[in-house]
Amino acid sequence: MDTKMSMDNLLRAICEKQNPTVAGLDPKLDYVPQYIKDKAFNKYGETLKGAAKAILEFNKCLIDALHEVVPAIKPQAAYYEMYGTAGMKTLYKTQEYARSRGMYVITDGKRNDIGTTMEAYAAAHLGKVKVGNEEYEPFMGDALTVNGYLGSDGINPLIKVCKENDKGI
- How many Å apart are CA 71 and CA 153, to the nearest integer? 32
Would you state the pLDDT for residue 89?
97
What fold does the segment set 7-165 form as a domain? TIM Barrel (3.20.20)
Half-sphere exposure (CA, 13 Å, Cβ side) for 131?
A: 6
Task: Show Cβ contacts of residue 128 under 8 Å, excluding neighbours closer than 6 positions.
Answer: 135, 136, 137, 165
Tens of pLDDT, residues 13-22: 999 999 999 9
Report the pLDDT value the prediction gives residue 1, as an integer from 0 to 100: 46
Dist. CA 148–CA 151, nearest whole Å: 5
d(CA 72, CA 1): 12
Quick one: pLDDT at residue 139?
87
**Rounded to two decimals, what is the model's pTM?**
0.86
Residue 91 burial (C-beta neighbours within 10 Å; 0-12, 13-18, 19+): buried
The residues annotated as belonging to the active site are 110
Distance of CA 70 to the CA centre of its chain: 15
The tens digit of pLDDT for each residue in 111-129 reads 888 888 989 888 989 999 8
| Domain layout of the chain by residue ranges | 7-165
At 75 the pLDDT is: 97
Task: For the chain, list residues with pLDDT below 70.
Answer: 1-5
